[in-house]
Structures are given as structure tokens and as C-alpha cells.
Amino acid sequence: MQPTDTDRALTETLLQIARNLPHSRLSQITHDGKTYFVKRPEQHASLRWRAQKGDPKTAFSREVALLQGFAARGAAVARIVAADDGLIVLADHGKPLHWFIYLDQADNALMQRAGAALADLHRLGLAHGRPSLRDICWDGGELTFLDLEAGARLNATPRNQARDLYLLLHSVFTTDGAHSARALPVLESYISQGDPLVWEAAKLLAQRLWWVDLLSRPVVWWHRFKGKKRSEFAAIGAARRLILDAR
């Protein structure tokens, strides 16, 4: 479908607003009662961060290309409303899922949707790379994936997709605590709708992570001693055990 004059006018208006904003990795703007987000390349504060993360402009260009590639496959990813050299304007897709957990509004149905959404993404041959709850938004009707970074793949293997599943479960436990019951509906929904090859790869991955689980335990014990209720280290073993115990 060709863009209309109205579409082109909106694009130009949003770009004008975005160009006048102070430089920031992510900015929020409002136009005609709608919210949009302006995203730019990161600005690394040191050579160490640049060495670790690579050239930010290259990474940004890759993310834009991935968003376009995922969208062309029909994936539920953030919609690019306007793009310019060095910035994109994204549509608002609601609140990230971790907020619904913090507000105790993430019921089983929503968590099941998260598992099903990841299975839908994988059926298209894609991998998100880091599907944390912060990178999945809910607008009351649809779930949308954000932030396609280094691990995202347009031609994913079952191993890539198994890593997605593990990281999503890890994110639930990190957000809600290692004893959270919210991860189970995510996993059950994924298993029922996902590729059996990915599930087999996920079980193999969980088995191979035994040494990471073991190394993390002293930190987990320290966190318990300090009364810390949420721990990404405790989430390592919790996600691993959930996968290994599932049938």
C-alpha cells in the first residue's frame, strides 16, 4: 500500500519534532494525542564500552534492518512510523510486561499470551535474541516485541530459539522472584504451540547450563542472606529447573 498525503505529512511532522530533541538514546514525544518514541544510536561514554558493544551506528543500522525484516515476515515488532539518518520514530505499543508484574496485574492469561507470542515469532523462523519482559509490550489487545539487538536472527536455528525461551523464563524469575508461579503458564503455552525441535533444544540447553547454575549459587545464598527478593542469579537455576521438570 502506497503512503497517502496524510501519512507523508505525519512522517515529516514527526521527523521535524524528533530532529529538534536533545540527543538521547530514547525519547518520548506526543503529537495529536498519540505517543511516539524516538530512538537513536547509543553514545558510549568510554572506549571500554565501545570495545564491548562495537560501533553504535553499525548496531543501530542493524537493529533498524532487523525491525524491517521482522515486520516483512509479519512479526509483531515495534512499528517504524518515520525514519531519518540516525533516528527512527516508533509507534507506542503499550506498557512493558514487567510493569504488569510489579502492579500485580499479570494474570495467567497474560503470561500465556507471552509464551504464545514467542512461539508465533519462532514459527516465522525468527529469534528475538533477548526477549526480556522489558522488551515485550502489551496494549490491552496485542503483544509487541521491542529492541532487536545482537542476538536477533532472521534465519534462526532451534538453538537460537531455545535460548530465547530460556531468557524469557529467566526474565520472569528475575522480575517476580525465583519462586514465581508466573513462569509456568509462559512455558506451558510455548510448549503447546511451539516447535518440538525447539523444546528439545531448550531441554538440552538447560542441561548444559548446570555449571552456570552451580557457579551462581554462592551469589544466590548471599542475596538470600541480604534479604534480596529478586535476583538474576537465582533466576538462572529457577529457569533451568522449570525446563528440566516440565513434560
Q: Are the C-beta atoms of residues 70 and 77 closer than 8 Å to each other?
A: yes
Q: What pTM, to 2 d.p., does this model score?
A: 0.92
pLDDT of residue 50: 56
CATH class of the region 5-91: alpha beta
CATH class of the region 95-245: mainly alpha
pLDDT of residue 71: 98
User: Which residue shows C-alpha cell 523444546?
Assistant: 199
Per-position pLDDT tens, the chain of length 247? 556 767 889 999 999 999 999 989 999 999 999 999 999 998 755 555 555 566 888 889 999 999 999 999 999 999 999 999 899 999 999 999 999 999 999 999 999 999 999 999 999 999 999 999 999 999 999 999 999 978 999 999 999 999 999 999 999 999 999 999 999 999 999 999 999 999 999 999 999 999 999 999 999 999 999 999 899 999 999 999 999 999 7
The neighbouring-strand residues paired with 96 are 137
Q: Are the C-beta atoms of residues 164 and 115 closer than 8 Å to each other?
A: no
pLDDT of residue 5: 61
Distance between CA atoms of 207 and 183, rounded to whole angstroms?
A: 18
CATH 1.10.510.10 domain locations along the chain = 95-245
CATH 3.30.200 domain locations along the chain = 5-91
Sign of CA dihedral 95, 101, 104, 106: positive
Q: What are the strands of the beta sheet with 143-145, ordered from one edge?
A: 95-96, 136-138, 143-145
Q: Which three cell numbers stand for residue 199?
A: 523444546
